[in-house]
Amino acid sequence: MATEAQMRANAANAQHSTGPRTEEGKEASAQNALRHGMRAASILLPEEDPALLAELHAELLRDLRPVGSMQNLLFDRMVAAAWRLRRAHLIERGILERTAERYDPGDHAKTFTQQLRRKFQTACQSADALGKLSRYESTIERSLHRTMAELRRVQDATDTREAAPAGTIAPNEPNFAASDNAAGSSGAD
């Protein structure tokens, strides 16, 4: 338990620390919680090339052609998962790299792959780095496959509705008139 004098001293010291004041300082401190980027809130890490992400986005857009807000939401999740898998492969390559820098923790990382490896290994000091990376990678792959399956399901449902002749109900579309009649005749609430 802190004494009254310690609490006053802590309060006085807190007045001297106001956090970062410049834009560069604020941007740097915003990354303080970032450890290795596998679960980062932002898809793109500061060191990553936005042009590569845009290229991946464009390629997947050509392949998957999402239409509408739901398909675009699922598509964005797929892009994020694919980008994180790319990052996982860079980390794995960095971990397995056989260079002098790998065994010299005092040497500063020179490449982005080396920086990712170092960040991930630091974050995994209490566990096997490759094992932990494999678990992250498996989770991301499962998420990607589930999202892809859901996107295909939504696309198929949209195609079915668009192909249905006017005045008919598509198989995946609810028939509210039929359910209203059934609910109204039962009298149970």
What is the tally of structural domains in the chain? 1
- Per the structure, the complete domain to which residue 117 belongs is given by 49-162
- Residue 34 CA to residue 115 CA, distance in Å, equals 12
Query: Would you say residue 146 lies in a domain?
Result: yes
Of the candidates 88, 149, 85, 142, the one whose C-alpha atom is nearest the C-alpha of residue 116 is: 88
pLDDT confidence band for 103 (50 / 70 / 90): very low
Cα end-to-end span (Å), the chain: 59
Model confidence at 170: pLDDT above 50: no
Q: What average pLDDT does this structure show over 164-187?
A: 45
> 105-135 pLDDT, tens per residue?
555 556 777 777 777 777 666 557 778 888 8
Least-confidence region, from 35-49, 90-104, 140-154: 90-104
Provide the residue type at 177 as one letter.
A
CA angle in degrees (0–180, nearest 5) for 103-29-2: 100
At residue 31, the 3 state secondary structure works out as coil
Query: Would you say residue 188 lies in a domain?
Result: no
Query: Would you say residue 185 lies in a domain?
Result: no
Residue 58 has a pLDDT of 97
> 23-56 pLDDT, tens per residue?
776 665 555 545 566 777 788 888 889 999 999 9
Query: Would you say residue 39 lies in a domain?
Result: no
Query: Would you say residue 20 lies in a domain?
Result: no
Task: List CB contacts of 19: < 8 A, sequence separation 6 or more.
Answer: 29
Query: Would you say residue 72 lies in a domain?
Result: yes
186 vs 92 pLDDT, higher one:
92
Other Cβ atoms within 10 Å of 86 Cβ, number:
14
> 60-90 pLDDT, tens per residue?
999 999 999 999 999 999 999 999 999 888 8
Residue 71 has a pLDDT of 95
Q: How many helices (H) and strands (E) does the chain have?
A: 7, 0
Model confidence at 165: pLDDT above 70: no
Model confidence at 94: pLDDT above 50: yes
Query: Would you say residue 8 lies in a domain?
Result: no
Q: What average pLDDT does this structure show over 142-156?
A: 96
Query: Would you say residue 4 lies in a domain?
Result: no
| CA neighbours closer than 13 Å in the CB half-sphere of residue 55 | 6
CB contact at 8 A, 144 and 78: yes
| CA neighbours closer than 13 Å in the CB half-sphere of residue 71 | 15
Residue 52 has a pLDDT of 95
